[in-house]
Amino acid sequence: MGIPDFQSLMLPLLELCGNGDMWRFRDIPDRLADRFGLTDDERKAEIPSGNQPLFVNRFAWARTYMVKAGLLEAPQRGFLRITEEGKKTLAESPARIDIRYLSRFPNFEKFKLARSKNSQSEGIAVTSEEPTKTPHERMEEAYAELRNGLAQDILQKVKSCSPSFFERLVIEVLVKMGYGGSRADAGQMIGKSGDGGIDGIIKEDRLGLDVIYVQAKRWDNPIGRPQIQQFVGALSGNHARKGVFITTASFTKEAVDYARNLESKVVLVDGVQLAGYMIDYDIGVSEFVSYRLKRIDSDYYEEE
């Protein structure tokens, strides 16, 4: 069946609260998930940012819209209850409750109008289409699309640079991630070894308790198992236990499977992952706009 969209949760949510009892927010998602027969994986599936389960996020938005329409209310912090208007709505036995249905309630129309004015004042396009995804989901998807586009631009730019630039870039990424000790230490080691498939040796931490052997390939074609075997052979020849193979290209399935089953620890970083690290650690990118999402601080409104 899959995870229902947030509008499909509105009527079941109202029906769940139909007995007039107060329901704790945290108890409701599991009850709704049971009703829809969701699997454990579907219950655990997260929104792209990974900071909230997708189903919980959709429940939260369904709850918000129903409260704005006046069918549900939050009588106290963390609890939900049906209103008299909600009971009347249930008595009408609607086949479905969605945004179009909620538009019959004056409070919801006021909410929509206020939201539309805020969006227009901020230069955000307003569409008349009925959304199937929550505002949070749409923002997450837009962010993911922009990030993926940036990652592709980064990769294209890196591939056009010289091998020596790529080696310096590898240094920058590893140091920003906490490896290699200082940048000076890492810079002295990368590009100096050239020992049968090893491009550099860096400290695992600032104390140098262990070392990591590095291979950096600015390639276009996929890296196959033979290249990984050569790297592993070089590690074995140096009695090394850890290695990182970084490339602007991708790895074949055979290469990934081979690295996964090794006794020694070999981490493969492909071009997409490398670009992602560069974005996360602000390497070769600059921030040009920032959006800060805020929510109600319930503690602030608590009175003595």
Q: Which of 88-97, 143-152, 171-180 has the highest mean pLDDT?
A: 88-97
Q: Measured between alpha carbons, how far is 196 from 201 in angstroms, rounded to an integer?
A: 13
Predicted pLDDT of residue 7: 95
Predicted pLDDT of residue 115: 65
Predicted pLDDT of residue 138: 83
187 or 169, higher pLDDT? 169
Residue 81 forms beta bridges with which residues?
73
Residue 124 has pLDDT above 60, yes or no: no
How do residues 245-285 score in pLDDT, each as one tens digit? Answer: 999 999 999 999 999 999 889 999 999 999 999 999 999 99
How do residues 185-208 score in pLDDT, each as one tens digit? Answer: 665 555 554 555 677 788 777 776
Percent of the chain exceeding pLDDT 70 equals: 86
Mean pLDDT of 241-246: 92
Q: Which residues contact 8 (CB under 8 A, 6 or more apart)?
A: 96, 98
Pick the CATH number of 6-123 from 3.30.230.10, 3.40.50.150, 1.10.10.10, 1.20.90.10: 1.10.10.10
Predicted pLDDT of residue 304: 57
Predicted pLDDT of residue 103: 92
Mean pLDDT of 232-243: 87
Average of per-residue pLDDT values in the chain: 85
Predicted pLDDT of residue 58: 94
Residue 232 has pLDDT above 80, yes or no: yes
Predicted pLDDT of residue 128: 45
Contact 282, 171 (CB under 8 A): no
Predicted pLDDT of residue 172: 87
**114-142 exposure pattern, b = at least 16 Cβ within 10 A, e = fewer:** eeeeeeeeeeeeeeeeeeeebebbebbee
Q: 158-280 has which CATH code?
A: 3.40.1350.10
Alpha carbon of 146 to those of 142, 153, 279: distances in Å? 6, 11, 12
Going by pLDDT thresholds of 50, 70 and 90, the confidence category of residue 130 is low
Predicted pLDDT of residue 50: 75
The owner of tokens 């020849």 is 237
Mean pLDDT of 33-44: 95
Q: Which of 17-31, 85-99, 190-204 has the lowest mean pLDDT?
A: 190-204
| Residue 14 neighbours by CB distance under 10 Å | 22
Mean pLDDT of 210-222: 89
Paired tokens of 263: 């006794």
Going by pLDDT thresholds of 50, 70 and 90, the confidence category of residue 184 is low
Q: Which residues contact 302 (CB under 8 A, 6 or more apart)?
A: 77
54 or 111, higher pLDDT? 54
What residue spans define the domains of the chain? 6-123, 158-280
Predicted pLDDT of residue 136: 82
